[in-house]
Structure 1
Amino acid sequence: MWKENLYQPVEILLREHDTFPIGEHQHSFFEMAYILEGTGSFVVNTVNGGEEHHDYCAADLCLIPPNRVHLFQTRSHSCYLFIRFTENYVTDYINRYAEDALDIQAGYCIRFQQGDAETIHCLIELVVREVSEKKMMSDYLLNYYVNSIIVLAVRNLSTSAPEHDNTDKAQYMLRYIRQHIHQPELLKLNIVAEKFHLSPTYAGRFFKRNFGEDFKQYIQKSRLKTVEDMLVGTQMSIKEISNRMGYTDPCYLHKLFLQYHHMTPLQYRKKNNDIHLPVGEGK
C-alpha cells in the first residue's frame, strides 16, 4: 500500500476530481481535507479491521491522522483544499493538547458549530485566495490561517466523534497485546501505533493515560507473567519457554526474571510447583 511522506512542516494543496485518482493509502502526517464543492464518501479503516463510511458535502472537513488507511469516493465533481502538517508542527506552533486531540479523534468528517462554521468558511476562503494569488508575505498569513483552522478543529472534534471511540481503541489495544504476547517483534511501540492508526509519541501517552503504566514496562511485565504461567503450568524447559516467548536466549530471560523476581526461573518453578512436577524437571 502506498504511504506518503511530508518533507516540510506544512503543505497546502487545491485539487478537483470527478473520480478521486488514489485508492486506499496512508500518510506519515496529519491531513485535513476541506470540501469546497461536491459530494461523496470518506472511508477510513477502524482499529478492529473494519471500515467506516462518512458521507461528505460542501463545507465538511475530514481529518486524517498519521498511519490511518483511508480513501475518498466521489459521487459528484469535487473540489478539495488539503492542509497537511506534521506532528511536530502541531506541538511546536500550538501545543501538545492539540496534537493529542487530533490524534485520538481523527478519522471523521467534522461539522462545525454554527459560529465556528462561519469562521472556518472565512478562513478557508482566505487560504484559497493566498494559495491562488501567491502575494508577498503569503507564507506568514497562511501559517496564521492554518493554525486558526487547526485550533477550531480541535475545539469541535468532541462533538463530531463517537464518545466510545477511545474506550474501544484501548480495549482493542489490550486484546492485540494478549494475542501477540509470544511475538515481541509485533509489540514494539511503533508497530502497535501503526496498527491502531496513532503516532508512536501519542500512542505512548494514550496507553499510559488509559492504563496508568508505561507501555514498555507493561509489555515486559505481561510477557514475564506469561513466563510465570508456563513455569508453573507446563513441564517445558527454560530453553523451550525462552524460544516460545521470543527471547533472544535463555540467559537473557534468566537475567530479566531474576531482576524482577529476585529468584531464577527454576527457583520460581520449585517454589510454586514443587509438588506437581518431577524432581529435576526443567533443567
Structure 2
Amino acid sequence: MRKESLSQLVEVLHSKYEQCTYIAQLTFFQIVYVVSGSGFLHINNNKISYQEGNLMLLTPNDEYRFEVVCPTEFLLVKFARKYVRDASREDVNCLECVLYHAPHVLGCVLKNKPDEPIVKHIAQALIHEIANNDVYSKEAILHFVNALIAVTARNLTKMKSEHIQANADSRIHSIIDYIQTNIYIPEKLRANVIAQKFNLSETYLGTYFKRESGETLSSFITQYKLRLIEHKLKFSDMRINEIVAEFKFSDESHLNKFFKKHKGISLTKFRRD
C-alpha cells in the first residue's frame, strides 16, 4: 500500500480520473470536492457513493481509493496537521478535534444546505487560481483553503448537536469531542468516567450537559451512536456482525433490539428500505 505524504503544509490539486485509483494511506487531512462525475469512495473498509457537489473529508491514517464509474473531476485540498493547529481560530472551536470527527462520518459532510453554493464558489475560485497562477495566487489560494476548512468544520459541528449554540461554553465541545472519539468504547462513556475526566461531579455533569446542549448526556450518546449505525447500514458494505463488534454489542440480537427500540424498525428492514 502506498503511503501519501505532503512536501508542504498545504497542497491543492485539480484532477480528472477516468479509472479507479490505487489504495493509499494518508498522513494528512484531505478535503475532496466532486466537481463532476460519480463513483464510489472506498475508505477504511467502507464503500460510499459520491456524486457531483459532494464534499468529503479524509483524515490522517485513512486508507482509501476511488472507484470511478463516470469520469470524475476532483478538487483535492490537502493540508497537514500542523497547518490545522497553527490555523485554529477563535471562530472555530477545537478545529482539529472537529476535523478528527470525520472518521465517524460516511459520505458527504455537507449537511447545511445554504453552504452548498458557498462550497461550489470556493471550489471554482481555487480551480481558477490554480489554472492562472497569477500575482498573489498563493495568498488567494490559502485564503480560499481556510474558508473551505471553516465551512467543512461548521458542517461537522452541526452534526454534533442541533441545539448547541455557536457561542456555547468551550468545555461542552471538549466533552462532545471526547464522546465522539470514544463512541466505540462503552466503558469510557459512563457518566462517572466522563465526569472524572472533566473534573466535574456526576450530578453537575448531567445538569451542565443538558443546559449547554439541550439534551441529556445519555440521549446524546444514544442518538450519536444511532446516527453512526444508520450511516453504516445505508452507506457502507459492513455486515451487521461487524457493526456489532465495532460498537461492542453482545450479539446481533442485542444490537437489533437497541436499534428497533429507538428507530421502530429492524436493522435489515432499515438497510433494505
TM tier relative to shorter chain: 0.5 to 0.7
Contact 2:101 2:180 in 1 (8 A): no
1:173, distance to aligned residue in structure 2 (A)? 5.3
Q: Which residue is 1:257 aligned to?
A: none
Deviates more, 1:11-20 or 1:129-138: 11-20
Q: Is the 8 A contact 2:16 2:71 kept in 1?
A: yes
Asked if 2 retains the 8 angstrom alpha-carbon contact of 1:35 and 1:59, the reply is yes
Is 2:6 the partner of 1:9?
Answer: no
Q: Tell me if the contact between 1:105 and 1:158 (Cα under 8 Å) persists in the aligned partners.
A: no
Tell me the residue number matched to 1:278.
none
- Give the TM-score, by structure 1 length: 0.55
Contact 1:111 1:160 (C-alpha < 8 Å) held by counterparts: no
CA contact (8 A) 2:3 2:27 kept: yes
2:49 alignment partner, one of 41, 45, 55: 55
Q: Name the residue aligned to 1:140.
A: 139
Cα distance per residue 1:167-190 (max 9 Å; x no partner): 575254589xxxxxxxxxxxxxxx
The answer to whether structure 1 residue 18 and structure 2 residue 18 are counterparts is: yes
Aligned with 1:88 (options 58, 82, 86) = 82
> Taking structure 1 as reference, are residues 8 and 36 closer, same or farther at Cα in structure 2, changes over 3 Å only?
same
Q: Amino acid of the residue matched to residue 127 of structure 1?
A: L
1:111 CA drift (Å): 2.4
For 1:82, give the aligned amino acid.
L
Amino acid at match of 2:2: W
Question: Contact between 2:109 and 2:155, CA under 8 Å: does it hold in 1?
Answer: yes
The structural deviation recorded for 1:61 is 1.0
Q: Which residue of 2 aligns with 1:27?
A: 26
Q: Is the 8 A contact 1:105 1:161 kept in 2?
A: no
Q: Tell me the distance in 2 between the aligned counterparts of 1:73 and 1:53.
A: 9
Change (3 A) 1:11 1:168: closer
Letter in 2 for 1:37: S
Identity level (%):
23
Letter in 1 for 2:64: H
- What's 2:130 paired with? 131
Matched residue count:
177
The residue type equivalent to 1:103 in the other structure is: Y
Please point out which of 56, 63, 66 is paired with 2:60.
66
Q: Which is further off, 166-175 or 84-93?
A: 166-175
- Does residue 155 of the first structure (1) align with residue 154 of the second (2)? yes
Match of residue 182, structure 2, among 170, 177, 183: 170
Are the aligned partners of 2:37 and 2:70 in contact in 1 as well (CA < 8 Å)?
yes
Does 1:212 pair with 2:224? no
CA contact (8 A) 2:13 2:76 kept: yes
Deviations 1:28-60 (A, max 9, x none): 100011100101111221xxxxx3222111111
CA distance in 1 between counterparts of 2:32 and 2:8 reads: 18
Aligned partners of 2:55 and 2:33: how far apart in 1?
4
TM-score by length of 2: 0.57
Question: Does residue 104 of structure 1 match 2:89?
Answer: no
The answer to whether the 8 A contact 1:15-1:79 is kept is yes
Separation (CA, whole Å) in 1 of partners of 2:81 and 2:32? 17
Residues 63 and 161 (structure 1), Cα distance of their counterparts in 2 relative to 1, 3 Å cut: farther
Q: Distance in 1 between matches of 2:25 and 2:16?
A: 19
Question: Could you say what secondary structure the match of 1:38 adopts?
Answer: strand
CA distance in 1, matches of 2:8, 2:195: 32
TM-aligned CA deviation for residue 10 of structure 1: 0.2
Once the 2 structures are TM-superposed, how far is the Cα of residue 73 of structure 1 from its aligned partner? 1.0
Output the CA distance in 1 between the equivalents of 2:60 and 2:196: 23
The residue aligned with 2:243 is: none
Classify 1:210/1:89 alpha carbon distance in 2 versus 1 (closer, same or farther; 3 Å): farther
Q: Give the secondary-structure state (helix, strand or coil) at the position aligned to 1:56.
A: strand
After superposition, the Cα gap between the structure-2 partners of 1:57 and 1:209, relative to the gap in structure 1 and judged at 3 Å, is: farther
| 1:100 alignment partner AA | C
- The CA deviation string for residues 91-140 of structure 1, in whole angstroms up to 9 with x for no partner, is 11234711110012245322242221111111111000000111010000
Larger radius of gyration: 1
- Amino acid across the alignment from 2:12: I
CA drift at 1:90: 1.1
Change (3 A) 1:211 1:36: farther
